[in-house]
Amino acid sequence: MDYLSFCRGVLIGGLMGDCYGFLYEGKPAVNYSTPLELLQRSINGFDTKQLMYSDDTQMSLAILRSLRARNSFDAEHLAKEFTTDYFENGSHRCYGGSVGRTFYSLKMMNYKDPYAHAADLFNGTGSYGNGGAMRIAPAALYGLRYSKREFEKIIIDVTRLTHTHPLAICGALLQAYAIQMIFSLIHDHIQLDYVTFIDNLLEKLEKTEYFVNFKQPNWLEALDAYKEKLQIVKYLLIDDKQPSVTNIVDRLGNDLKAINSVPSALYVFLRSLKPIDGIEFDVVTLIPLVVWLLH
């Protein structure tokens, strides 16, 4: 698979996951077969209704536009793209409340000092939501040609325009590193081993140097939290028994916090490498499932 095909697959898969996941956001729990059946009906042409994307896709598109317009990452330019989309086409996209306050502040200050506004949220701790991870794919794809430090920088700087809490930034980094690693595996024709994959993800996270400081208590707590969750992911994957959805949710979570959704999404992706009773996965259903679970 070449670079452009990989990019298209990740972006289109993310769009599909967002559209199908948005149907169930904020609603009572549904059986996991329900979105799969809807997706299959759409693929087969039996269900042709138009679906709506959420703020996650809208902000992903803003990242793509900004990177293309500036031919690099420009924090003020992207902040303006985010804000313009929010005020012109955001009322029905299900933006989080804290994001709205950030965009209002950015607009009032003419996008100067763009990182300060999100950093001031929640008494200076910043948001720990999964929004940074939800929209990080375009930046990760753009950064595939970058050095280690350049890759870290674009991922973290894009994320901290709206999310500055260590849990949010670490979640976005894990998503970005996963994309980076999957591309390398495909490019080098290497079979993905889920235990090795998780170990390498954690190693990359621990070796992140830009902006983060794992010697500080808040960053160390975030790192330890993800280590604990990803160890659970490994345990669930090597267990011969197929855990129930309830068990997975109880142990990994499925809410809007990055720590309670990013590990869950990674589990779904890696679990799909093994047969699952009653479900046949393929590339078309896999990526949307991951993003649906993030919802």
With vertex at residue 56, the alpha carbon angle to CA 50 and CA 62, rounded to the nearest 5 degrees, is 100
Q: Report if residue 42 sits inside a domain.
A: no
pLDDT at 17: 84
State pTM to two decimals. Answer: 0.91
**Can you give the pLDDT at residue 264?**
93
Confidence band, pLDDT 50/70/90 cuts, at residue 279: low
Per-residue pLDDT band at 246 (split at 50, 70, 90): confident
**Which stretch of 81-85, 93-97, 109-113 has the lowest confidence by average pLDDT?**
93-97
Contact 266, 230 (CB under 8 A): yes
User: Which of the residue ranges 173-187, 197-211, 281-295 would you say has the lowest mean pLDDT?
Assistant: 281-295
- Number of domains present in the structure of the chain: 1
In a domain, 90, yes or no: yes
Choose the most confident range, by mean pLDDT, from 22-26, 38-42, 90-94, 125-129.
Answer: 125-129
Q: Lowest mean pLDDT of 54-63, 113-122, 155-164, 272-281, name the range.
A: 272-281
Does the pLDDT of residue 188 top 50, yes or no? yes
Write the CATH number for 273.
Answer: 1.10.4080.10
Q: What average pLDDT does range 106-119 have in this prediction? A: 95
Lookup result for tokens 């260590």: 166
92 lies in some domain: yes
pLDDT at 277: 61
Binding residues for Mg(2+): 54-56
Say if 46 falls within a structural domain: no
Q: In the predicted model, what is the mean pLDDT of residues 217-244?
A: 93
Place of tokens 């809490």: 165
Q: What DSSP line would sit under 235-256, residue for residue?
A: HHHH-SS---HHHHHHHH--SS
Say if 35 falls within a structural domain: no
| Residue 205 forms part of a structural domain | yes
Among 196-210, 236-250, 269-283, name the one with the lowest average pLDDT.
269-283
Q: What is residue 148's predicted lDDT score, i.e. its pLDDT? A: 98
Q: Residue ranges of the alpha helices (H) in the chain?
A: 3-22, 33-43, 55-70, 75-89, 97-108, 116-119, 121-124, 131-134, 137-142, 148-159, 166-187, 194-206, 217-238, 245-252, 262-271, 283-294
Structure tokens belonging to residue 166 = 């260590």
Tell me the average pLDDT across 78-82. Answer: 98
Kindly list the distances between the CA atom of residue 97 and the CA atoms of 60, 94, 132, 215, in Å, as whole numbers in the listed order: 18, 9, 15, 31
Is residue 44 situated within a structural domain?
A: no
Q: Which segments are annotated as binding site? A: 54-56
Q: Is 51 exposed, middle or buried (0-12, 13-18, 19+ CB in 10 A)?
A: middle
Mean pLDDT of the chain: 89
* 93: nearest Cα among 127, 136, 51, 47: 51
- 274 and 184 in contact (C-beta within 8 Å)? no
pLDDT of residue 284: 39
Q: Above 70 in pLDDT, residue 143? A: yes
Domain of 218 in residue numbering reads as 3-20+53-294
Q: What is the pLDDT of residue 29?
A: 72
Q: What percent of the chain has pLDDT over 70?
A: 92
Identify whether 31 is part of a domain. Answer: no
